[in-house]
Amino acid sequence: MTKKQATDALQKIASNRNIIRNDVILPGYGKSLDGIENILEKNMDLKKKGIRLNAYRIIYQQWAKIIYLGAIMYEDDNFERGVNNNSIPMKEVVEWLMNEQNKRENSTGLSPVNKDFIGDLFFTGGQDFQKIRRGLYSSNPGKSSVGAAGGVAAGSGLKHTGLKTVKQIISRTENLIQAANLGNKSTEVRNELDTLLAVLIDRKEVRPEFRTKLMKKLF
């Protein structure tokens, strides 16, 4: 699955209040999502771990699919490999992210995906959500992914962004540009985009005049 397909899938999930079928999430590519679900099911092994009610398993599966799609969108190959070879325990990752959502809703226990939380996590949220992404896409959920075991060492200027590589910085920048083009002109989106563009200038990936023109055009 491509980064664009994963991004489109996450946007579709975040914009729908109900759980939708894979062939609706990505028309023509539903089988790809089915394959991802099979990988996640084998990794989590929910029945053996005591999650026997189908309604509970569906909640875990929905969270896991969203997390995996996020890894594809951010091009975190280490995370994908870790899930595929079972070195990253997705059940625990799901529970960690679920707990982060619960903190914001003053709730506890097993909780369905809140679509607003997912939208903020991947597309529109500010620094609080950057911190969650840092913890999420690492070999040890809840700890910073910068320099994490199995991760790619961060270059100068990357650490404070919560992303591990220039490739991921570019991916996140593209997502923020898309969010702004779709009408999200919030201070959080503007500030994060401005920060990422500054990092890309520092890394000589874009020119300063590109940043100036883009920010003027979007905001």
pLDDT in tens, 166-176: 888 888 888 88
Report, as an integer, the average pLDDT of 20-32.
88
User: Is the pLDDT assigned to residue 149 strictly greater than 50?
Assistant: no
Report, as an integer, the average pLDDT of 66-91.
90
Task: Summarize pLDDT for 191-205 with one digit per residue, the tens.
Answer: 888 888 888 888 888
Tokens representing residue 215 in the block: 């920010």
pLDDT bin (cut points 50, 70, 90) of residue 161 is low
pLDDT score at 60: 94
Task: Find the length of the chain.
Answer: 219
User: Is the pLDDT assigned to residue 126 strictly greater than 60?
Assistant: yes
Instruction: Output 145 or 71, whichever has higher pLDDT.
Output: 71
pTM: 0.66
Mean pLDDT of the chain: 82
